[in-house]
Structures are given as structure tokens and as C-alpha cells.
Structure 1
Amino acid sequence: MTYTHVVFVGHHKDRLMDSITRYRKYPIHRVTLVLGSDDSSGERISRRVADKVKHELSPLFEVTIIRVDKRDIMNAASQIVDLIQKEREKGYQCILNISGSLRTFSIAAYIAGCLTQSPMITSIPRYDESDQEVGVEEIIELPTIPVQYPRKDQVQLLEAIAGSSGYLEDLILQLNPRMKDEPDVFAKERSRLTHHLKKIEEMGFVTKEKIGKQVVFSLSPLGRIYGKVCKGDILRING
């Protein structure tokens, strides 16, 4: 299996180059440089760094540059999950390299890496006698935190929430249309779904809002990202 090295670009070219060329645990075929989508002064520095890195790496790898939203962490994590899905569809696994990234990129990449169980690395910078940074002293592999994933029936409920108004009665009928004419069964199903909704709310996948006398459920940002993970078959859904 070959890998795409996904590198989140900051302002330190030497650190990025060292972390890419020295990390050889997996066979790398492609490098994707990730920049922010805004036009801030700091991002302009990152773009110049990315151009230099691409120029130096192009003889060795297939190099592309993409942009994601670095200001909204959950949106950035969602875009990174999209990238991982697309790479896996092409037959590549992804390594997420946050050695030289800005803080928001690091957080977003770590969320995406944990959700997709992708390898992640960072590095400790090396300095010369004048205290100037001159590359990487050590590359560190980051552990992924286990994510509590919903069971299959809970995943079906998340999918129903995504495709409905979010009212409990609507969710029941969407999952079991025949229950409309069975009041006793409907009441039991309402109790069952209420239990599952409480569980996935505690897991952070849904939020609820009271409108009048009714409660409306909707996917949280984490729930929307997890929906992408499920659709991309990145992970085996728990039984």
C-alpha cells in the first residue's frame, strides 16, 4: 500500500522539508500541501513556503497544493476527512504531518486523524548555536485517541436525523413507516429512540432544541463529519 503525505504548511520551510524527507516508515508516492483559504498576511507567508517546498519536492513526488478553512476548526476537520476519503478511493492511505502547521490546522488535523484512524506525525525543531531553527531534531508519531463510535442502529438514527425535520415523531415514521397505524408499538418505539438519542447526544453527535412543546434533534458538527466517515466506509461501523 502506498501513502499520500498530507502536510499542513506553516512558516518553517526547513522543518517541513526535514519532516517529509526523513520520515520513511511508509512508502510515500504523493505529497499534498495544505494551506488556509484566507488571504491574511500570515497565510501569504505560508503560500511562499508551500511554493518553495513544492519546487524542491516535485522531482521526487507528485505534489499538489490545496486550501481549507483554517479559521473554523470543525469545518477544516470536515474538509480534511473529505481529502482522506478521496485519497482512499484512489488507493492511497494518508499520513497527516502537522510538524510545521499553525495551531488551528493542528487541532483540525488531529480531529480528522482520530476519526479516520490515520497515522499522524509532528516534530521537535532543531536549533543551531545562534538559536536559529535549522530543521528537525526528532520526528514523533502521534497516538490516535479512540473515538466512541455509534452502533449500527444508532448510525441509522443519525442518518434519519440528517434526512428529516428532526422531530421525534418524524424520525419514528421515517425509520418505521408502518407504525403510524399501530399506537402501542409507536409508543414503545418512541421510548426506544429517546434512549438512543440521549446516548448519541452524550457522545456529541447530535444537539437538541426545544421548539414549543416538541424537541428537535439535529446533527452536531462532529455528527456531520462522522456521517462523511460512514459514507466513505473509512471505518468499520460497530455491530
Structure 2
Amino acid sequence: MKKTVHIIPVGHTKTTLTEGMRQYPFHKIILVLGKTAGPGEKKAEAVAAEIRGEFGKVAEIEEIHVELDDIYTAAIAIAKNIRAEEKQGSTVMVNASGSLRTIGISCYLACAVTGATLYVALPAYEKGVLTGIRQVQTVPPAPLKDAGREELLILKYLNKHGTLDSVDTLIQGLRGLEKTAQGFQKERARMSYH
């Protein structure tokens, strides 16, 4: 039987997280928490404990810890977990219902590059009090164009070296060409296309 794994960034309310997840099959839950224990993270840890208490007997539960303020690093960590679960034959769903905006963006990016399903449970309120969820929506990824060999080379270079001050610096780093070298302007025009 194929397992369904839910990756859930934990926020401050359990309701949207758990009620959204209940709309789908689940066999394993991976809770995403912050690496740094600030005041908000203490609340998230308490919600995670509630989830473990409620679902620990019916589903396998794991935790991963990410940098909450670093969108790309968190996206990479989430994507790695998605890939690892998919490699084991599981279907992976990501529930961004209660996460911080930054982690919600990380989840979107991770799902866009892996093809995992992203969903959110929209909360229901009565007299300003959260009463449950009113709807669960899946969030389709934006269509991504496959990156070519040259684009991947550029992305790997930028990932390794970080932000660069200009295309010229990129050309010097990738091709070893100085600004005064023959063919530099042609290479600059070509690189600017990417």
C-alpha cells in the first residue's frame, strides 16, 4: 500500500492544520518547526506536542527544523524531505495552512520543484473565534520551464558564490574572460539573455 505523507509547518493554531489534513489519507506526518526557539516558536512547539498526542497512535510522526527566516534554505530542506519520501514510494502532500508567510513561500517553492501537492485549509470563524475550516484548496504550481544546461551552470555558480554585482562578474567567474578580452561583449550579450 502506498503511504501518504503530510509535511506540515506548525504555526500557532492546530485546527487548520489537523482539520485540513483529515480531508486526505495520512500515514505519516512530518512537522516543520523552527531551529531557533523564540517566543512564537514556543507556541508552535506546544501545537506540535498536541498534534503528536492526537495522531501519534495512528500515524508515524517526525520533525524537521528549518531556519524560519530563510525562504530558500527552508525550501531546500522541505524539498529534500519530499524527495526522500517519494523515493520510498510515498505520495507527499504539504499543508501550508498554519505556517508563517516565509515558510508558506518555502513550501510553495518546494512543491513547485518536486511536484508534491500543496494545500491550505481556509479557516471558519464565528463571532471572531476560529471554529474549524470552511474549505480545503490545493494550490497548483506555476508552470516552470525546464532550465537548460547553461542556465543550470549559472544557477549553480550563483548558489556557490551568492549575489554578484554584475553580469560582468558572472562572466569573469564562469568563463575567465576579462572585460578587455576579445569576445567579452558577445559573451555579455549571450549571458544577459539568460
TM superposition score normalised by structure 2: 0.79
Matches within 5 A, 1:66-85: 66-85=64-83
After superposition, what is the alpha-carbon deviation per residue over 1:163-185, rounded to whole angstroms, capped at 9, x for unaligned?
A: 89x76466448xxxxxxxxxxxx
Larger radius of gyration: 1
Map Cα deviations across residues 140-190 of structure 1 (whole Å, 9 max, x no partner): 1112112233123433554567689x76466448xxxxxxxxxxxx967x6
Of 26, 47, 55, the residue aligned with 1:57 is 55
The aligned residue for residue 199 of structure 1 is 193
Distance 1:82 1:195, change over 3 A: farther
Secondary structure of the 1:28 match is coil
Stretches of structure 2 lacking an aligned partner (at least 5 in a row): 162-168
Counterpart check, 1:131 vs 2:131: no
* Structure 1 position 141 matched with structure 2 position 135: no
Give the alignment's Cα RMSD to 1 decimal. Answer: 2.7
Contact 1:35 1:65 in 2 (8 A): yes
Deviation, structure 1 residue 3 = 2.7
Equivalent-residue separation in structure 1 for 2:190 and 2:94 (angstroms) = 33
Judge conservation of contact 2:117–2:139 (CA < 8 Å) in 1: yes
Q: TM-score, normalised by structure 1?
A: 0.65
Corresponding residue for residue 28 of structure 2: 30
| Identical-residue share of aligned pairs (%) | 25
CA drift of 1:66 comes to 1.4
- How far did residue 110 of structure 1 move? 1.3
Paired AA for residue 116 in structure 1 = T
Query: Alpha carbons of 1:154 and 1:193: their partners in 2 closer, same or farther (altered >3 Å)?
Result: farther
Q: Where does the alignment leave 5 or more consecutive residues of structure 1 unmatched?
A: 174-185, 201-239
CA contact (8 A) 2:17 2:121 kept: no
CA distance in 1, matches of 2:99, 2:92: 16
Q: Match of 2:9? A: 8
Asked if 1:46 is matched to 2:47, the reply is no
In the alignment, is the contact (CA less than 8 A) between 1:154 and 1:196 conserved in 2?
A: no
1:196 CA displacement? 4.9
Shift of 1:74: 2.0
- Secondary structure of the structure 2 residue equivalent to 1:12: coil
Distance 2:112 2:173 in 1: 33
The one of 144, 149, 154 equivalent to 1:152 is 149
Residue 97 of structure 1 corresponds to: 95
Aligned residues: 182
Whether the aligned pair in 2 keeps the contact of 1:68 and 1:76 (CA below 8 Å) is: yes
Query: Following TM superposition, by how much is the alpha carbon of 1:70 offset from its aligned partner in structure 2, in angstroms?
Result: 0.6
